[in-house]
């Protein structure tokens, strides 16, 4: 089962939900999920995610959450700076992010700098910059290989899944 979790980052909050367990890779539910998340706002986050759950996973006990970005619990994982928000996926990934695929939408007024994981434990990968209103997917927090990450724009321009009628 390929797990996935979506995150919407605003200037003050991080919105997230219970993890989806099953087919969250790009050519499974991933493309549709990233496009849905890309259209999500703080005002409709809960509704959009509950609809996604009802249509794709049907979990009885499904929850969404909103946390302050400046919570001390985030330690060094999320740092809000004057001009950027920095998210470090390289620190205790499986404790903090845990999903095979994480989907991050920048709903803030700042660039979000994602410090990715490398294939070597403890060694940081590259920094990926997510601009305002962009949405990215990361495989286990990595951006080493081309298939490790993709964007909502990638899906719009070059989908790899087919619609039920056989068209892209």
Task: Confirm whether 107 is domain-assigned.
Answer: yes
Task: Confirm whether 110 is domain-assigned.
Answer: yes
Find the domain containing 27 and state its range: 3-157
What does the pLDDT look like over 50-77, one tens digit per residue? 999 999 999 999 999 999 987 767 778 8
Task: Confirm whether 94 is domain-assigned.
Answer: yes
Assess contact for 9 and 108: CB atoms under 8 A: yes
What does the pLDDT look like over 67-107, one tens digit per residue? 998 776 777 889 998 999 999 998 888 888 889 999 999 99
Task: Confirm whether 106 is domain-assigned.
Answer: yes
Residue 25 structure tokens: 């890779």
Task: Confirm whether 40 is domain-assigned.
Answer: yes
d(C-alpha 9, C-alpha 61), whole Å: 24
Task: Confirm whether 168 is domain-assigned.
Answer: no
Task: Confirm whether 162 is domain-assigned.
Answer: no
Task: Confirm whether 39 is domain-assigned.
Answer: yes
- Quote the distance between the C-alpha of residue 144 and its chain's center: 17
**If you average pLDDT over residues 136-157, what whole number do you get?**
91
Measure Cα distances from 50 to 95, 123, 153 in Å. 24, 36, 24
Q: How many domains does the chain have?
A: 1
């Amino acid at each position: 089962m390929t797990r996935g979790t979506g995150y919407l980052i605003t200037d003050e909050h991080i919105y997230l939900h219970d993890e989806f367990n099953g087919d969250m890779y790009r050519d499974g539910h991933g493309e549709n999920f990233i496009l849905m998340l890309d259209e999500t706002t703080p005002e409709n986050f809960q509704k959009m995610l509950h609809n996604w759950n009802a249509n794709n996973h049907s979990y009885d006990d499904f929850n969404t959450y909103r946390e302050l970005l400046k919570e001390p619990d985030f330690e060094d994982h999320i740092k809000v700076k004057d001009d950027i928000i920095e998210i470090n996926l390289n620190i205790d990934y499986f404790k903090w992010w845990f999903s095979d695929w994480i989907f991050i939408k920048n709903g803030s007024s700042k660039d979000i700098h994602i410090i990715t994981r490398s294939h070597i434990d403890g060694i940081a990968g590259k920094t990926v910059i997510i601009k305002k209103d962009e949405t990215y997917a990361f495989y286990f927090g990595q951006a080493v290989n081309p298939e490790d990450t993709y964007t909502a724009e990638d899906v719009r321009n070059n989908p790899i899944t087919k619609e039920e009628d056989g068209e892209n």
